[in-house]
C-alpha cells in the first residue's frame, strides 16, 4: 500500500468516528516528531502494538479486501498483567476481511453504529479445514445455531461472541453504509494467533511516497528503534 493511501484512509476514518461520537486517545494524532519526543513514556503502546492498523491483506485493493483497525488497549503474554484487548474497526460495504480463526483469543464483535455487519461462520477441524457441523454461538448472550457457512447479520447495538477455532469472515451489508465495529477480547497477538484459511499478508508492505500522517503500529520498529 502507498503511504498516501494509508494517510487518506486515516483522514476518512477519523471523520467517520467523530461523526459517530467515538474518540481516540490523544497520542492517536501524534506525528513522528511527537513519537520521538515521547518514546520513553509509551513502552506499552509500542510493545503491545496499540494504535493504527490498516491492511489490504496483500490484495492490493483495500476497498474490496481490507480492514481499518485501531487497537485501543491490549496486553502481552508473559510481559504484563492485562488479560484483555479492545479495538475499533471500520468496515465498508462489501469490504471483506477473509476467513480466519484464533487459536487462543475469544472475542465479542460489536456493531457500534452505521450499517449492518455480515459474518459468515464455520467450525474448524483438527486439520484447520472447514467442518461440516453446525456452528453454536451467542449473539448478545442468546444461543443461536447456524449451518456451516451460514450468515449472521449484526445490526447497530448487536454483538456476537466468537470462540476459539471458529472460522469467520465479515463485510458490510450492501445498501446500509459503512459500519463502526468494536472488538472486546482476550489478549490480541496478530503475529502468532491468526489462522487464515488462505495465505494472506496481515500487515501491508508500505511504499513511502509521502511522509506518514500518523504511524501505524507496524511502523514503530521501523521509525522508533
Q: Which of 50-59, 150-159, 195-204 has the lowest mean pLDDT?
A: 195-204
Rounded distance, CA 158 to CA 22, Å? 17
Q: Which residues of 17-44 are buried (b: 16+ CB within 10 A; e: fewer)?
A: beebebebeebbebeeeebeeeeeebee
Three-state SS for 11?
Answer: helix
Instruction: Give the model's confidence band at 1: pLDDT under 50 very low, under 70 low, under 90 confident, else very high.
Output: very high
- Structural domain harbouring 44: 3-224
pLDDT in tens, 57-103: 999 999 999 999 999 999 998 889 999 999 999 999 999 999 999 99
Instruction: Give the model's confidence band at 178: pLDDT under 50 very low, under 70 low, under 90 confident, else very high.
Output: very high
pLDDT in tens, 132-176: 999 999 999 999 999 999 999 999 999 999 999 999 999 999 999
Joined grid coordinates for residue 222: 521501523
CATH classification at residue 60: 2.60.120.10
Query: What whole-number percentage of the chain has pLDDT above 90?
Result: 96
pLDDT of residue 225: 80
Query: What whole-number percentage of the chain has pLDDT above 70?
Result: 100
Question: How many domains, the chain?
Answer: 1
Amino acid at each position: 500500500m502507498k503511504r498516501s493511501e494509508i494517510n487518506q484512509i486515516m483522514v476518512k476514518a477519523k471523520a467517520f468516528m467523530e461523526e459517530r461520537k467515538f474518540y481516540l486517545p490523544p497520542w492517536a494524532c501524534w506525528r513522528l516528531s511527537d513519537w520521538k519526543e515521547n518514546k520513553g513514556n509509551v513502552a506499552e503502546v509500542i510493545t503491545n502494538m496499540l494504535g493504527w492498523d490498516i491492511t489490504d491483506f496483500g490484495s492490493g485493493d483495500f476497498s474490496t479486501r481490507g480492514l481499518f483497525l485501531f487497537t485501543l488497549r491490549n496486553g502481552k503474554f508473559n510481559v504484563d498483567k492485562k488479560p484483555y484487548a479492545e479495538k475499533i474497526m471500520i468496515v465498508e460495504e462489501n469490504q471483506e476481511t477473509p476467513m480466519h480463526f484464533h487459536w487462543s483469543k475469544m472475542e465479542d464483535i460489536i456493531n457500534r453504529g452505521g450499517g449492518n455487519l455480515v459474518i459468515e461462520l464455520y467450525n474448524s477441524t483438527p486439520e484447520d479445514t472447514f467442518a461440516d457441523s453446525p456452528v453454536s454461538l451467542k449473539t448478545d448472550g442468546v444461543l443461536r445455531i447456524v449451518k456451516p457457512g451460514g450468515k449472521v447479520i449484526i445490526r447497530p447495538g448487536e454483538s456476537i461472541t466468537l470462540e476459539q477455532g471458529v472460522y469467520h469472515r465479515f463485510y458490510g451489508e450492501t445498501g446500509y453504509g459503512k459500519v463502526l465495529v468494536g472488538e472486546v477480547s482476550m489478549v490480541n497477538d496478530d503475529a502468532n494467533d491468526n489462522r487464515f484459511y488462505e495465505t494472506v499478508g496481515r500487515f501491508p508492505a508500505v511504499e513511502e511516497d509521502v511522509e506518514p500522517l500518523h504511524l501505524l503500529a507496524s511502523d514503530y520498529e521501523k521509525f522508533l528503534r
